[in-house]
Amino acid sequence: MNALHQYVFDAHRAARLGEPMPPEPGTHELALLRALRDRRRFARVVAGRPACGAVRATLLRWLRPAR
């Protein structure tokens, strides 16, 4: 059973019992990704590293020729 099947079962049960409908699958994914990003940024600041630009700095370090 996938998430859509579970949603249909839960929606049917909620309608039958007069309860509020459950949120649709994927409704809160963007909020979850933003929260994960914020948590990683906070951990980097607490560790004394820059909060953003780590990927760009790493790529530039790899692509620049050593002088």
pLDDT digits (tens, 9 = 90+) for 5-60: 999 999 999 999 999 999 888 888 999 999 999 999 999 899 998 888 878 888 88
Range of the domain at 40: 3-63
So what's the pLDDT on residue 55? 82
pTM of the model: 0.54
| Structure confidence at residue 67 (pLDDT) | 67
Provide the pLDDT for residue 22: 92
**Number of folded domains that form the chain:** 1
pLDDT of residue 21: 93
Burial code (b: 16+ CB inside 10 Å, e: under 16) for 2-20 equals eeeeebeeeeeeeeeeeee
Q: Is the CB of residue 60 less than 8 Å from the CB of residue 66?
A: no
Interatomic CA distance for residues 9 and 12, integer angstroms: 5
Res 54: pLDDT: 78
Cβ neighbourhood burial of 39 (10 Å; 0-12, 13-18, 19+): exposed
